[in-house]
Amino acid sequence: MTTIEQTPTRDVDPDKLMSFVFQAVGEVGAALNTALVVMGDALGYYTTMADGEPITPAALAERTGTAEPYAREWLSAQAAGGYVEYDAPTRTYTLPPEQAVALADPTSPAYLPGFFQIAHGTVRDTPAVLGAARTGDGIGWHAHNTDVHHGCERFFRSMYNGHLLGEWLPALEGVVGKLDRGARVADVGCGHGASTILMARAFPASTFVGSDYHAASVEIARQRAHEAGVADRVTFEVASATEFTGAGYDLVTMFDCLHDMGDPVGAAAHVRTAIADDGTWMVVEPMAGDHVEDNLTPVGRAFYGFSTLLCTPASLSQDVGLALGTQAGPARIRDVTVAGGFTGGFRTAASTPFNNVFEIRP
């Protein structure tokens, strides 16, 4: 008689099991809420509720020109998630002031709809990532849906609006003075040009060159520079980080893009040839520590998710494919800059809950 040997099972704590099951239920609700926030942003639900007045589903539907059943279920889901408050006696819903700042005020540095939009777009492209993970191939930034591109710009633009001029640039030694007097600036990996245009408007004596390999983003950046009235001092070009043009730059900036590059060392070496001997390279990267255990936080979790589904595939789609990852940390970023020829100094000049700002000298 043939006997079948069974693999011994580990002891399972039923209370811990059910605790994890309910945690997972919360995770599914959170995943669905990503789409619900995108929905609320696109349909104007949050902005309509931003006045803080209690509202019924019928009134929200009427004021936004949408169907009441959708408004009703959306409001209930938002109440269950703590995004809006529900008053049972009056059957009305209210958007608290803190949520209004985060969800309905695009001028706030805490404005979050873009964060949800990029997450929503990233998740929608998961089937392509599954195939790439099996083959080791990459997926270029250009290959993603437009929610990824527009959501990224919307989220990080709020960070730049809140911190770039008042905190990050002043934290760099002597840079603001140069910009006031008239400096040459290269903004590498500029995307839609939010950072480039923000600096150009603040420093009218300086000139700026933004570059990005994604032609569609560059076209949007050119249009926005024209609309902002800075097109006479800002130019945009389609070029990779190892091929952008110009030399003698007083300031080179990279905002949330170095880790996405296939060859960040090659990009650093190119920056070294393009920067003035007394210039400054400012690299803004997602907030991260040097070790995995440093990043096991809510922010780290979100960034590791983006790293798996978006940033690492982007790097692997390019030559070299170093795949630093979104949570590379200061030590690895410093190693990249040194390998690229920067030996004059490296320091963390500023930080926020979402970003590290590095000052690098030739």
- Kindly tell me if the per-residue pLDDT of 6 is higher than 60: no
- Between CA 156 and CA 16 the distance in angstroms is 38
pLDDT for position 158: 87
Range from 7-21, 86-100, 284-298, 346-360 carrying the lowest mean pLDDT: 7-21
- Between CA 340 and CA 254 the distance in angstroms is 15
Query: CB within 8 A of 271, min separation 6: which ones?
Result: 188, 241, 252, 281, 340, 342
Confidence of residue 62 (pLDDT cuts 50, 70, 90): very high
pLDDT for position 8: 56
CB 81, CB 29: distance < 8 Å: yes
CA 161 to chain centre: 14
- Kindly tell me if the per-residue pLDDT of 352 is higher than 70: yes
What phi and psi values does residue 219 have, to the nearest 5 degrees? Answer: -65, -40
pLDDT for position 153: 87
pLDDT for position 159: 87
Collapsing DSSP states into helix, strand and coil, what is residue 210? strand
- Kindly tell me if the per-residue pLDDT of 4 is higher than 90: no
Q: Which two tokens stand for residue 2?
A: 């043939």
pLDDT tens digits, 126-158: 999 999 999 999 999 899 999 999 998 898 888
Average pLDDT over residues 73-88: 97
Average pLDDT over residues 106-115: 91
pTM flag (> 0.85): yes
- Kindly tell me if the per-residue pLDDT of 1 is higher than 90: no
pLDDT tens digits, 194-210: 999 999 999 999 999 99
- Between CA 58 and CA 31 the distance in angstroms is 26
- Between CA 154 and CA 157 the distance in angstroms is 5
What phi and psi values does residue 211 have, to the nearest 5 degrees? Answer: -140, 145
Instruction: Report the percent of the chain where pLDDT is more than 90.
Output: 90
pLDDT for position 182: 97
Burial of 4 (0-12, 13-18, 19+ CB in 10 A): exposed
Letter string b/e over residues 133-165, b meaning 16 or more CB atoms within 10 A of that residue's CB: eeeeebbbbeebeebbbbbbbbbbbbbbbbbbb
Q: Which two tokens stand for residue 52?
A: 């803080």
pLDDT tens digits, 316-326: 999 998 999 99
- Kindly tell me if the per-residue pLDDT of 291 is higher than 80: yes
Specify the length of the chain in residues: 362
Confidence of residue 107 (pLDDT cuts 50, 70, 90): confident
Q: How many CB atoms lie within 10 A of CB 132?
A: 16
What phi and psi values does residue 186 have, to the nearest 5 degrees? Answer: -115, 120
Instruction: Report the percent of the chain where pLDDT is more than 70.
Output: 98
pLDDT tens digits, 7-52: 557 888 989 999 999 999 999 999 999 999 999 999 999 999 999 9
Task: 58-61: list long-range contacts, CB under 8 Å, 24+ apart.
Answer: 60/93
CA 171 to chain centre: 22
- Between CA 181 and CA 130 the distance in angstroms is 51
CB 198, CB 160: distance < 8 Å: yes
Query: CB within 8 A of 333, min separation 6: which ones?
Result: 258, 283, 285, 324, 356, 358
Q: Which domains does the chain have, with CATH numbers?
A: 14-100 (1.10.10.10), 117-361 (3.40.50.150)
Average pLDDT over residues 103-122: 93
Query: CB within 8 A of 31, min separation 6: which ones?
Result: 123
Confidence of residue 362 (pLDDT cuts 50, 70, 90): very high
- Between CA 89 and CA 249 the distance in angstroms is 64
pLDDT for position 109: 85
Mean pLDDT for the chain?
Answer: 94
- Kindly tell me if the per-residue pLDDT of 2 is higher than 50: no
pLDDT for position 112: 94
Amino acid at 196: T
